[in-house]
Structure 1
C-alpha cells in the first residue's frame, strides 16, 4: 500500500512511502486485539480496594452469648461478620491486576491494530518535523493543516521530542508517543494515526524482527 508523504502544512511533498504489508495489511486478529486491550486496561487499575476482616477490627473479644441455645448463629465477639459493624468475610484486598502476554501475541496485536487503521484510512505519514519551542498553538495549527483537529489524533515519533510532547500535552484529543512505546489500545482508540517517516522505519524494525 502506497501512501503520500505530507508536510506539516498538510501539503503533498511528492514523496510516497510503501507501507510494509506484513504490518499494515494483515487480517486483524480480533481475539488478540481483545487480549491486548484487556491487558492495557488491567494495568491501569489501581487495585487499592480494601475492607477490614474480623481480625483487623478494634473491638472487644468478649464472647457475647452462649454457644448454643440462643436460637441463632454462633457469633462469638462483637467483630463477628454476622453482626452489623463486624468484619467482612472475604473482602477485597490490595492486588495487582496486570498480567503478561507473550511477546509474539503483543507484536501480532500491534500489527492487527495498525492494519485496521490502514484499512480504515486512518494512517497519515508526514515528514520528520520539530518545533522550536513548546507551543500548543503551533501543534493546533499542524492538526488543522492535517485535518485532524476534530479527531482523536495519535502522533508517533521515532524518539522523545520534548517540544512536540509539551505542545500537545494540554490538548484533549491529541497524544504524542514514541514508536517503541506504541501499543494496541492507543492505536485503536485514535481516529487518526500520524506517523513521521523516521517513526515508520522504527516501527518496521520493531515489528519485523
Structure 2
C-alpha cells in the first residue's frame, strides 16, 4: 500500500494515510484515459452549428435564363451552391456528438489518473477546509502552504459553497466534489487537492466497482 501525508491547511503534516494499490497504485492505462477524455470533450459539444441548404435559402423560383442560346453556363436556380448567396452543399447541421463508453473503461481511466497523480506526487490530501465564510485571500494562502501547482483541482466530499466561492476568482483553480469529479478535470490540472474524506470515498467507490 502507498502512504501519503495528510496535511493541514497551514501545510503541516497531520497524519499518514494508507492508499489501496488497487485504486492508487495500478499501472496507468493511457489508452483508457485518452478514450475517456475524448468522450468527455465530445459530450461537451453543443452541436448547434447549422448552414442553409439550397432548399432553405431565399429566391430561386424561376430559372434565371433559358437553357440554350445565351452563351452562358446552364443553371436551373439562383439557389445553386455555386452561386453567391446560394445554399451550402454538405454543410454542418445540428447533431448530437455525445456517446458513452463501458463502465470498466471509465473506472480504469479514473484509477489510472489517480495512480499517476500519486506516482508523480501531484496528489495533495488535506484534512479539511474550514472556511467559515468565502475568502479568496485565505484560499490563496492555503494553496501556497500546500505548494500546489500552477493549476489545481480541489475535490471535497460534498458541495461546499464557501470553498467554491473562495476559489472562484483564482485563475487555474477549479472546485468539484466526489459525485462530480471526472478524468478530464484531473488530467488538465497540475495538482489534485482532495480532502481525506473525498479520497476515502473515491477509494470506496472504485474498489466496489
* Smaller-chain TM-score bracket: over 0.9
Counterpart contact for 1:153–1:194, Cα < 8 Å: yes
Q: Which residue of 1 aligns with 2:123?
A: 123
> Which aligned pairs between 1:120-199 and structure 2 lie closer than 5 A?
120-148=120-148, 151-199=150-198
CA deviation after TM superposition for structure 1 residue 118, in Å:
1.1
Q: Which residue of 2 aligns with 1:38?
A: 38
Q: Which residue of 2 aligns with 1:200?
A: 199
Once residues 16 and 71 of structure 2 are traced to their aligned partners in structure 1, the CA distance between those partners, rounded to angstroms, is 84
Structure 2 residue matching 1:48: 3-state secondary structure: coil
Counterpart contact for 2:26–2:111, Cα < 8 Å: yes
Q: Which residue of 1 aligns with 2:64?
A: 64
Q: Which moved more, 1:158-167 or 1:33-42?
A: 33-42
Work out the number of aligned pairs and report it: 207
Once residues 84 and 53 of structure 1 are traced to their aligned partners in structure 2, the CA distance between those partners, rounded to angstroms, is 13
**What is the TM-score with the length of structure 2 in the denominator?**
0.93
Q: Over residues 51-83 of structure 1, what are the superposed CA-to-partner deviations in whole Å (9 max), with x where a residue is unaligned? A: 110011111310123446777765311111122
CA deviation after TM superposition for structure 1 residue 102, in Å:
1.3
Counterpart contact for 1:75–1:83, Cα < 8 Å: no
Counterpart contact for 1:180–1:206, Cα < 8 Å: no
Once residues 108 and 74 of structure 1 are traced to their aligned partners in structure 2, the CA distance between those partners, rounded to angstroms, is 60
For the structure 1 residues 87 and 116, does the alpha-carbon distance in structure 2 shift closer, same or farther, using more than 3 Å as the test?
same
Once residues 50 and 104 of structure 2 are traced to their aligned partners in structure 1, the CA distance between those partners, rounded to angstroms, is 36
Unaligned runs of 5+ in 1: none
RMSD (Å), alpha carbons: 1.6
Counterpart contact for 2:129–2:163, Cα < 8 Å: no
**What is the TM-score with the length of structure 1 in the denominator?**
0.93
CA deviation after TM superposition for structure 1 residue 93, in Å:
0.9
Structure 1 residue matching 2:107: 3-state secondary structure: helix
